[in-house]
Structure 1
């Protein structure tokens, strides 16, 4: 694992990349539909064989990811450490790929959600499933339901806040054009001043410098931010849900012949408890309660 100093230095660009993917303007959808002649997720991965899957490179599963940051990636993506790295190798295994048959490529969020031809077979980039995005790309079955966490500085004015009302009058940072913005506005209305930032790393830096009093972001990323990257901050709770639950899915090219097989693999991992094991191992937000 990289040193805390290196991680802190890398956080700003990492969070700009990673948490940009979590934004959602629409309610979650079921993802893009698979071509009619492709195996269906209900058929299970027994209908899928790595030797026959039409990947970019025969016999290889090319996976798109961002710069590595916790809890999604610990070290380089190929390490198998971190929630999404471990998830990718589990999915690959269900499809018949050995670990050495998985190749990683660095991509931007824009490359993932745009309708352009993808430089990957599948991307693992904390991407929220939305109807709007499903018009341009395919999504696998969801692998995680996310919540929005509230982070405060340990030595700040609102360090003892334990409810939404306790933060009345605060300046609350959010990441522009993301779920955190809408969630914060719904939670507090005019009781707080919402301050948008281009990236969560910028917001966390503002929090530790006292420019804002709290920061709202994906709770799992918030836990990593407060324990690894900005250790003088604490996640005090999560915001009430806004609309449908926010779910993350693996991303594929629109109408990809791989979509049904990847979804079947995710479904099997959910059904046999593997996803729960991965969440327990790499995510640490189950005991963080919703603020009232």
Structure 2
């Protein structure tokens, strides 16, 4: 059963916290491992919480990241975790999932997981508290409008001038919207992206700006009376997502190597095409 709109709104309270100001790709604590380190990237050589088991943290599952429970292997991040596990030599049955809050994922406290997969943006501030793998996705900000609304046929930024635009308060979507339109639109902040999508469906706002991959799922699964018209021009450094590990984790280099391998052999591209379905969405100019 697909989650209801209220469930989506609750899930996006956590998701909205992820779209903080973008920063650069991780370096020293998430680089490619040395040849010696690579030789230890096996279940026997990895220092996991439970010997022979890879424990993965995630929070409330919602599309397109998780379809059903994380154990399903369906959804971008569920499939990604199992692909990373496979690169490290873990069978699917050797992956154990644990439910955690987003605060647990990014806090400096000792982690109840070996790695976490929950749309976590790589930032310098967070890297002072946790390790990140190599990035597995570069995000963009999408513009969602109502199918029957005044701006349903928008094809460029100018077409949306005069619109009331919803954003998630104090997040990347706010900066991107202000950079794209300046004073030509009325920006309305919401505490959570789900609240903004509800306002869009009711006609309270004309468009909603949010992560484009989440926007595609929102418009096709949770709010089918809406659609994504395009993405905003990027602001600052690219916003990238990474797997989260405990600060100084002995697994970081091996997990980064696995992500790098999946990038190099085309697996990440295949997973994006299968689960995110946002590659063909144009950038508004």
Taking structure 2 as the reference length, what is the TM-score of the superposition?
0.95
Q: Which residue of 1 aligns with 2:29?
A: 33
Deviations 1:97-124 (A, max 9, x none): 1111111111222111111111211110
RMSD: 1.6
Give the secondary-structure state (helix, strand or coil) at the position aligned to 1:152.
strand
In the aligned structure 2, how far is the partner of 1:136 from the partner of 1:170? 39
Superposed, which structure 2 residues align to 1:131-150 within 5 Å? 131-150=124-143
Unpaired segments ≥5 residues, structure 2: none
Deviations 1:70-105 (A, max 9, x none): 111011001000000000001011111111111111
Q: Which residue of 2 aligns with 1:290?
A: 283
Matched, 1:96 2:93: no
Q: Which runs of 4+ in 1 moved over 3 A?
A: 42-47
Contact 2:21 2:239 (C-alpha < 8 Å) held by counterparts: no
Superposed, which structure 2 residues align to 1:46-85 within 5 Å? 46-85=39-78
Q: Which residue of 2 aligns with 1:223?
A: 216
In the aligned structure 2, how far is the partner of 1:172 from the partner of 1:31? 36
Matched, 1:105 2:98: yes
Deviations 1:159-203 (A, max 9, x none): 122211111121111112221111111111111111111111111
Deviations 1:232-276 (A, max 9, x none): 001000000101111111011111111001000001111111111
Taking structure 1 as the reference length, what is the TM-score of the superposition?
0.93
In the aligned structure 2, how far is the partner of 1:31 from the partner of 1:154? 43
User: 222, 225, 240: which one pairs with 1:232?
Assistant: 225
Following TM superposition, by how much is the alpha carbon of 1:126 offset from its aligned partner in structure 2, in angstroms?
0.7
Following TM superposition, by how much is the alpha carbon of 1:24 offset from its aligned partner in structure 2, in angstroms?
2.3
Contact 1:60 1:103 (C-alpha < 8 Å) held by counterparts: yes
- Note closer, same or farther for the CA distance 1:104–1:60 as it changes in structure 2 (3 Å cut): same
Matched, 1:123 2:119: no
Following TM superposition, by how much is the alpha carbon of 1:42 offset from its aligned partner in structure 2, in angstroms?
5.0
In the aligned structure 2, how far is the partner of 1:228 from the partner of 1:45? 41
Q: Which residue of 2 aligns with 1:181?
A: 174
Q: Which residue of 2 aligns with 1:18?
A: 15
Contact 1:41 1:267 (C-alpha < 8 Å) held by counterparts: no
In the aligned structure 2, how far is the partner of 1:145 from the partner of 1:258? 23
Contact 1:32 1:138 (C-alpha < 8 Å) held by counterparts: no
Give the secondary-structure state (helix, strand or coil) at the position aligned to 1:127.
coil
Contact 2:157 2:180 (C-alpha < 8 Å) held by counterparts: yes
Q: Which residue of 2 aligns with 1:151?
A: 144
Superposed, which structure 2 residues align to 1:157-168 within 5 Å? 157-168=150-161
- Range moving further from structure 2, 217-226 or 169-178: 169-178
- Note closer, same or farther for the CA distance 1:103–1:32 as it changes in structure 2 (3 Å cut): farther
Matched, 1:251 2:244: yes
Contact 1:45 1:265 (C-alpha < 8 Å) held by counterparts: no
> For this pair of structures, how many residues does the alignment match?
284
Following TM superposition, by how much is the alpha carbon of 1:25 offset from its aligned partner in structure 2, in angstroms?
2.4
In the aligned structure 1, how far is the partner of 2:27 from the partner of 2:191? 27
In the aligned structure 1, how far is the partner of 2:20 from the partner of 2:27? 14
In the aligned structure 2, how far is the partner of 1:283 from the partner of 1:113? 24
Contact 1:139 1:252 (C-alpha < 8 Å) held by counterparts: yes
